Structure 1
Amino acid sequence: MAIPAVSLHAFRTAQRAAPLSDFGRELFMGLSRGTRSVSPKFFYDAAGSQLFDRICELPEYYPTRTEMRILTEHAAEIAEQIGPHAEVIEFGAGSLTKVRLLLDALRSPRRYVPIDISGEHLGAAAQRLRADYPQLAVQPVVADYTMPLVLPARGEGLGQRVGFFPGSTLGNFSPDEALAFLQLAQRLLRGGGLLVGVDLVKDPALLHAAYNDSQGVTAAFNLNLLRRANRELGTDFDLDNFSHAAFYNAPLRRIEMHLVSRRAQGVTLDGQRFDFEEGETIHTENSHKFTVDGLRALAVKAGLRPAAVWTDPQRLFSVHWLQSPAAQ
C-alpha cells in the first residue's frame, strides 16, 4: 500500500509542536530583532558546506589560495614552531583540506581532532583523511567550537596541543566574540599554541569581487540559509523574493553579507509571522579584516603571546603563530 504524502501544512504543524532546534531558536530571535540577523555558523549544513568548497575555488576568492600558498612556502618554519608529535585541534574544520599541508610538514603528528558543526560533512572528510594518514589518530568532534568544548583526554607521547584556525573565520566574529574565542583557545591549548589565518585590510574593489563572484556561487551559499530553514524548520521563505547583497563597510573594516527582501512579504516560523518591507534585510555574515599589529594586540589581550607571522608578498593575508603559556 502506498504511503500518502505528508502535506506541507501537516509538516509545519508537526514542526511547531516540537521544540525548536538551536538553528530554529537563533533564527526566531534574529527575526524578532529590529535589525534582523542570524549567525553565519548556520550556513554549514551539507549543501552549504559543499557550496563553500566551491567558493574557495573561485578566481575572485583570493583568501583560500593565498593562505594555502603561505602555508606551503613556510611549512618548515611553521613545523619548527610546533615541534614533533603534535596533537592538532582544528576549529571549524570543514573539508580538512588545509590541514593536510600542516600534517605533511609536521614531524610525526600523533592526533588530529577536527571540530565542526556539520556532522555529515565532517564524517565523510575524516574518513578520507584516515585513509590517507593511517598512522594518525583522527577523532572528529561534532560541536559548535564557539561554545565550551570537551576534547579527548591528553594521552602519553603527545607533543604540543596546537590549535589550527585557518580561513580568516576569526573575522566572522564581532570584536568581542573574537576576543572570547581567543580566550577559549588560550585555555584549551595551554603549553601549546594557535596557528590562525586572518584576512588583511586591502583595496575595497578586491574585497567586493571576492564576495560577489561572477558565477553567483556566493549568492547561492547565502540563499541556502533560507532553503535550509524551509527544509528543517518548516518556514515558507520564497527564495525568488530574496537577493544576495555583500559590500565593504570601510569604517568598521568588514564585509557585510545580507539577504534583501525584494518586496513586502511575510514569513512564518514556529507559528509566528514575521513581516518584511521591501528592501529590508537579514544580516547573515560579517567578515572583519585585520592589520597584523591589530591581530597581535588582540592576541595579547586574550592571554596569548604573539610569535612568528607570515604573509604573502602583496600582504593580502597573514598567518600567525600565537603561543599559549602553560598554566602556572
Structure 2
Amino acid sequence: MNVPDLEIYLTDRDLARSLRSDVRAGLTATPKWLPPKWFYDARGSALFEEITRLPEYYPTRAERAILRARAPEIALLTEAKTLVELGSGSSEKTRLLLDALCRHGTLGAFIPLDVSVTALGEAVSALRSEYPGLAVHGIVDDFTRHLRLPPHGGARLVAFLGGTLGNLLPDERHDFLAGLRAAVEPGEWLLLGADLVKDERLLLPAYDDAAGVTAEFNRNVLRVINRELHAGFDAEAFDHVARWDAANEWIEMRLRARDAMRVSIKDLDLVVEFAAGEQVRTEVSAKFRRHGLERELDAAGFAPYRWWTDPDGLFAVSLSRAR
C-alpha cells in the first residue's frame, strides 16, 4: 500500500524477530506466558472488533460515551495543534476528538501510531478523505519498546485510549509512562483511557462472554504461532480461562491445556511440554482506582488535570499535563 507520509520504524523482519523472542522466552518460563500483542493478526483484530460490540463488553461503549460528552471540553482545555494517538487502529473513537478539535479551530495535524502497516495505511487514507484540511501522518512502530514522535511542532495532545495501559505490568507501565514523558515537552497533554475496579460479577463476563468470542480471540495467539513459526498447537485442545486477581486488581486471561501434550515449534527448534491442566497466561488487564493511577502519572512527570467517568462509573478518561 502506497501511502505518503507513512513513516515505518517497525518492519516485518522486526516483528518476526520479536515474535520468536517472546515465544521462546514465554513458553520456556515457569509459569508459561505469552504477550497479548500477538492476538492481533487480521483474524484477531476482527474478533476483537466483534468483542467490542458484545453486550458483556462495556469498556468501549463507556469510553465512547465519555468522549462524546467531553470532547468539546478537551478541545477547549488543550487547544491542541497536533493530536497523537498511540495504538490507533482504525481511530474510530478518536474521530470524536478530531471533530471537536477541528470545530475548535486549533488542530492542524493528526499523528496515529500503530504496529500494523496495513491497518495504519488504510486508516490514514480514510482519515485524509474525511478530514481534507488536516495533515495526517502515520507512524508504524511499537510504542511500548521505543516511542518516536516527530519533532515538536506545536501544542500536542497524546491520546492513549481503550484501557490498553492496563495490559502492561506495573514495571512496564512505569517505563512506558516515563518514556512518554521524555518524548513530550512541558505543558503538553496526555489523554488516557482506563478501566476501573468494579464488581467481579460485571468484570468477568466482559472477558468470558456467553457467545465464546473472547475464547476464540484468546486461542488465536496459538494460531498465529502455528502460522508464523510452523508450530503444532491444536488450539481447540486449550480452554479459555478468565480470572479476577483481587490482590493485583487485574483480570488474567489464560489458556489451559486439557491433556498432557508436547508441542513442536519448528522455527525455534523447540519442543514445549504441557501437563494436563497447565495454564499459559496470555493477558493481564489491570483495573484502576483514581488515586492509584494519578499517583503513577505524577511519578512519571504528568500532573493530573481532569478526570471523567461514564454515568455508571465503569470507565475513566483522564487528562494530564507534562510538568
Same fold (TM over 0.5): yes
User: Unaligned regions of 5+ residues in structure 2, if any?
Assistant: 1-14
Does residue 137 of structure 2 align to residue 139 of structure 1?
A: yes
Q: Give the equivalent residue in structure 1 for 2:277.
A: 279
- Of the three residues 86, 94, 100, the one matched with 1:91 is 86
Asked if the contact 1:183/1:302 (under 8 Å) is kept, the reply is yes
- Of the three residues 204, 207, 213, the one matched with 2:209 is 213
Does residue 257 of structure 2 align to residue 258 of structure 1?
A: no
Aligned with 1:266: secondary structure?
A: strand
Q: Give the equivalent residue in structure 1 for 2:6.
A: none
Q: CA RMSD in A?
A: 1.4
Read off the aligned partner of 2:183 and give its amino acid letter: L
Which stretches of structure 1, 4 residues or more, deviate above 2 A after TM superposition? 149-155
Q: Give the equivalent residue in structure 1 for 2:184.
A: 189
Does residue 101 of structure 2 align to residue 103 of structure 1?
A: no
Asked if the contact 2:147/2:180 (under 8 Å) is kept, the reply is no
Q: Give the equivalent residue in structure 2 for 1:16.
A: none
Asked if the contact 2:34/2:280 (under 8 Å) is kept, the reply is yes
Asked if the contact 1:46/1:120 (under 8 Å) is kept, the reply is no
Q: Equivalents in 2 of 1:278, 1:166: separation in Å?
A: 38
TM-score, length-normalised on structure 1? 0.89
- Of the three residues 39, 59, 62, the one matched with 2:58 is 62
Read off the aligned partner of 1:64 and give its amino acid letter: T
- Of the three residues 134, 156, 160, the one matched with 1:161 is 156
Read off the aligned partner of 2:165 and give its amino acid letter: L
Q: Give the equivalent residue in structure 2 for 1:49.
A: 45
Q: Equivalents in 1 of 2:284, 2:218: separation in Å?
A: 12
Q: Equivalents in 2 of 1:45, 1:138: separation in Å?
A: 24
Does residue 198 of structure 2 align to residue 202 of structure 1?
A: yes
Q: Give the equivalent residue in structure 2 for 1:233.
A: 229
Q: Equivalents in 2 of 1:168, 1:319: separation in Å?
A: 9
Q: Give the equivalent residue in structure 2 for 1:317.
A: 315
Read off the aligned partner of 1:67 and give its amino acid letter: E
Asked if the contact 1:166/1:195 (under 8 Å) is kept, the reply is yes
Read off the aligned partner of 1:128 and give its amino acid letter: A
Looking at CA atoms only, which structure, 1 or 2, has the larger radius of gyration?
A: 1
Alignment of structure 1 residues 3-18 onto 2, 5 Å:
none
Q: Give the equivalent residue in structure 1 for 2:238.
A: 242
Give how far 1:139 is off.
Answer: 1.4
Give how far 1:132 is off.
Answer: 0.8
Residues paired across the two proteins, number: 303
Does residue 70 of structure 2 align to residue 77 of structure 1?
A: no
Q: Equivalents in 1 of 2:16, 2:39: separation in Å?
A: 17
Q: Give the equivalent residue in structure 1 for 2:114.
A: 116
Aligned with 1:183: secondary structure?
A: helix
Aligned with 1:236: secondary structure?
A: coil
For each residue in 1:245-303, what CA deviation from the matched residue of structure 2 results, as whole angstroms up to 9, or x when unmatched? Answer: 11111111000000111111111121111100111111000000001111111111111
- Of the three residues 292, 295, 299, the one matched with 1:294 is 292
Q: Equivalents in 2 of 1:43, 1:20: separation in Å?
A: 14
Read off the aligned partner of 1:187 and give its amino acid letter: A
Read off the aligned partner of 2:158 and give its amino acid letter: G
Asked if the contact 2:147/2:179 (under 8 Å) is kept, the reply is no
Q: Equivalents in 2 of 1:136, 1:243: separation in Å?
A: 46
Q: Equivalents in 1 of 2:258, 2:179: separation in Å?
A: 40
Q: Equivalents in 2 of 1:184, 1:320: separation in Å?
A: 18
Q: Equivalents in 2 of 1:135, 1:237: separation in Å?
A: 49
Aligned with 1:112: secondary structure?
A: strand
Cα distance change, pair 24–189 in 1 and its aligned pair in 2 (3 A): same
Read off the aligned partner of 2:273 and give its amino acid letter: D
Aligned with 1:252: secondary structure?
A: coil
Read off the aligned partner of 2:32 and give its amino acid letter: R
Read off the aligned partner of 2:129 and give its amino acid letter: A
Give how far 1:126 is off.
Answer: 2.0
Q: Equivalents in 1 of 2:180, 2:235: separation in Å?
A: 38
Give how far 1:20 is off.
Answer: 5.7
Q: Give the equivalent residue in structure 2 for 1:179.
A: 174
Cα distance change, pair 161–20 in 1 and its aligned pair in 2 (3 A): closer
Read off the aligned partner of 1:120 and give its amino acid letter: T
Aligned with 2:247: secondary structure?
A: helix
TM-score, length-normalised on structure 2? 0.90
Q: Equivalents in 2 of 1:210, 1:27: separation in Å?
A: 26
Q: Which moved more, 1:113-122 or 1:164-173?
A: 113-122
For each residue in 1:185-228, what CA deviation from the matched residue of structure 2 results, as whole angstroms up to 9, or x when unmatched? Answer: 11222131100010111010100110011121111111111111
